[in-house]
Structure 1
Amino acid sequence: MAAAEAEYAYELEQVSFAYVPETPILDEVTFRIASGSWVSIVGPNGCGKSTLAKLLGGLLAVNSGSITVEGRELTRESVWDIRPRIGMVFQNPDNQFIGATVEEDIAFGLEGRCLAREEMRERVQRYAEKLGISHLLSKHPSELSGGQKQRVALASILAMEPGIVIFDEASSMLDEKARGELLQIWQEMRKSGDYTLISITHDAEEIMASDRAIVLRGGAIAADRAPAELFEDEELLQACRLIAPYRVRLQQELRKRGMDGEAILRGRHTRRW
């Protein structure tokens, strides 16, 4: 599976949306996401992040403006052709479980696509192995840990081989170890070049691992920059209730004291007496 040939996975032009006409959630949002990239969408609660994720996933239709996915405009007519290219992983994996076992759950979406049984079995085995859950295939979802459940949810999505995967706060309910493991999987997906990744998140490490951060405030784009640049903007971090990763904060503190924080952390600093 190769990355989409289209230059952009998404092109949004003046996208607006409101559940209630008098209360807009998103107001003329415009941006592009390059195919094969990893973009974090961040911002304070209520800024429209999850609504944007649903619009990108074709679960909601824009009130005005346009969304183009891999060169094709997303409309009520085209959504059925475009949606198979998009996978979504949500905050609570329990909401995505359908089958009585892990194997059945991964196979469920494939059955809906009417794949041959042999191909279904091959995909289930392949993606279970990729995500390190082959030993869990006969387990009931209730027997799994939070991290295992999220791996199963991701395997269910990847088995359908989408080119775009959207993570809506997918790591927020996990402990630190499980978050780290999931982040490593995302980094491997990014390196493969097979996917465009979009993560709706508050997690600093997740943001730092991505290529780009789009900041929403009040339904509009407040910033669009490299993660390292975002974490240098203290005012924006406070507004979004974000805390920079420990390594970044340490570098900043060392820099304030006139030292080369990056060199010190890399072990290259030579002390001068």
Structure 2
Amino acid sequence: MGETGMAYELREVSFAYHPAHPVLHEITLRIPSGSWVSLVGANGCGKSTLAKLLGGLLAVNSGAIYVEGTPLDRDTVQRLRPRIGMVFQNPDNQFIGATVEEDIAFGLEGRNLPREQMVTRVREYADKLQIGHLLSKHPAELSGGQKQRVAVASILAMEPGIVIFDEASSMLDEKARGELLAILREMKQSGRYTMVSITHDADEIMASDRAIVLGGGTVAADLTPGELFRNEALISDCRLIAPYWIRLQQELKRRGVSFPADWGLDGEEEAEL
């Protein structure tokens, strides 16, 4: 059995689409319930593959994944999958309904919720995501940021305990990315979710609790976001750009300018500087 208090526990997980080309090799990892973890790394390092394994969309070749203490395998995947929501980079790929309301309701219909409860939940999550005024709109009428809000609402309406964001902000403009980040922070503060972000966005990484770096098909580093962005070799390997204030610190150091060692804070407060 997996460890209690863990949303995920991975034990020597390996995966390959073809035996000659392994993607992930013996990954061992624990993600506590209620935490927010960022998975980062260069393109092609296996982040999205790992996200699909965590979501039960792919099965491991070897090793084991435990979800909230239960092994995720052929026998349990249908039972565990409702506990896990996934938001992808292109919200158009997630739309099912002809209107926003139908789209949010689609997953609830599959769970056979009574109509009154379904209507209440659609309204509740539409209001939380500030898209109540869009319920009658066709998805094609929405902006990119609005579409991603609908995608998030559709997932949260099913009330999963774990939500995986697979490059969910990568196709959004700066304003929409900021709006999505605000939603993620609210989710974190609610204490209701374990969150896994596959992302290159520095602000999103900085808002999370922990950064797990994938490289060479395995975990290359497991550290705080602040530690990640102060490691110039790692951020270069991951093709990341550090937040402005960290780059300013680094440039000041190079120029011999001194400042207090504790200048800057870790985590969410850092991201707001």
Q: Is TM more than 0.5 here?
A: yes
CA distance in structure 1 between the aligned counterparts of 2:248 and 2:162, rounded to whole angstroms: 34
From 86, 94, 108, give the equivalent of 2:106: 108
Identity %, equivalent residues:
73
- Quick check: 1:167–1:198 contact (8 Å CA) kept in 2? yes
CA distance in structure 2 between the aligned counterparts of 1:262 and 1:182, rounded to whole angstroms: 32
CA distance in structure 1 between the aligned counterparts of 2:262 and 2:42, rounded to whole angstroms: 33
From 162, 165, 180, give the equivalent of 1:164: 162
Aligned amino acid, residue 205 of structure 1: D
User: Which is worse superposed, 172-181 or 253-262?
Assistant: 253-262
User: Which is worse superposed, 47-56 or 232-241?
Assistant: 232-241
Deviation at 1:259, TM superposition (A): 2.8
Residue by residue, what CA displacement relative to the aligned partner does 1:55-80 show, whole Å, maximum 9, x if unpaired?
00000000000000001000111001
From 209, 212, 222, give the equivalent of 2:210: 212
Q: Which runs of structure 2 are paired with 1:1-273 in the superposition (5 Å)? A: 6-256=4-254, 257-260=256-259
Query: Paired residues, what number?
Result: 262
Structure 2: tracts of 5 or more residues without a match:
266-273
- Quick check: 1:163–1:194 contact (8 Å CA) kept in 2? yes
C-alpha change, 1:264 and 1:234, in structure 2 (3 Å) is: closer
SS, match of residue 18 in structure 1: strand
TM-score by length of structure 2 reads 0.93
CA distance in structure 2 between the aligned counterparts of 1:137 and 1:185, rounded to whole angstroms: 19
C-alpha change, 1:88 and 1:264, in structure 2 (3 Å) is: closer
Deviation at 1:247, TM superposition (A): 1.6
Q: Structure 1 residue runs of 4+, over 6 Å off?
A: 261-266
SS, match of residue 157 in structure 1: helix
CA distance in structure 1 between the aligned counterparts of 2:212 and 2:13, rounded to whole angstroms: 15
User: Which is worse superposed, 253-262 or 71-80?
Assistant: 253-262
C-alpha change, 1:21 and 1:142, in structure 2 (3 Å) is: same
SS, match of residue 82 in structure 1: helix
Q: What RMSD in Å do the two structures reach over aligned CA positions? A: 1.6
Deviation at 1:252, TM superposition (A): 2.3
Deviation at 1:33, TM superposition (A): 0.2
Residue by residue, what CA displacement relative to the aligned partner does 1:225-246 show, whole Å, maximum 9, x if unpaired?
0000001111111111111011
Aligned amino acid, residue 11 of structure 2: E
Aligned amino acid, residue 35 of structure 2: S
Aligned amino acid, residue 6 of structure 2: Y
SS, match of residue 240 in structure 2: coil
